[in-house]
Amino acid sequence: AQKVTQAQTEISVVEKEDVTLDCVYETRDTTYYLFWYKQPPSGELVFLIRRNSFDEQNEISGRYSWNFQKSTSSFNFTITASQVVDSAVYFCALSEAGDSGGSNYKLTFGKGTLLTVNP
């Protein structure tokens, strides 16, 4: 069964600090997909990034960067020079095709990390 662990329940930083959110996953599939979603106080879930299991390239998008390491089953997320608007709950999620024959990719979420960026 697939499982996602976000060990950090809450993180509090001061604006402009760098912060890394950890994500460790478990899966039996050789093909799987990893995601990060942001949930601000307003409640919606905002897609940030998707990474395929066969693509271990790290990615940078503005102040956001992601470090995918299959050897340690980790997919960590770093925010550089954090801002107050980054305050939100961040969810790491995993999807695998399982036995559905390719028609279903339900997401299994971690418990989320509440990031608070103080001015």
**One character per residue 20-59, x = contact with other proteins (rule: CB under 8 A):** -------------x-x-x-----xxxxx--x-x-------
Cβ neighbours, 10 Å, residue 63:
13
Q: Is 112 in the site for other proteins (CB under 8 A)?
A: yes
Burial of 34 (0-12, 13-18, 19+ CB in 10 A): buried
User: What distance in Å separates the CA atoms of residue 43 and residue 61, rounded to the nearest whole number?
Assistant: 23
Site for other proteins in 81-100 (CB under 8 A): 91, 95, 97, 100
Is residue 77 close enough to count as binding other proteins by CB under 8 A?
no
Q: Vertex 62, ends 111 and 7: CA angle to 5°?
A: 20
Q: Does 111 bind other proteins (CB under 8 A)?
A: yes
Q: Give residues in contact with other proteins (CB under 8 A).
A: 33, 35, 37, 43-47, 50, 52, 91, 95, 97, 100, 102-112
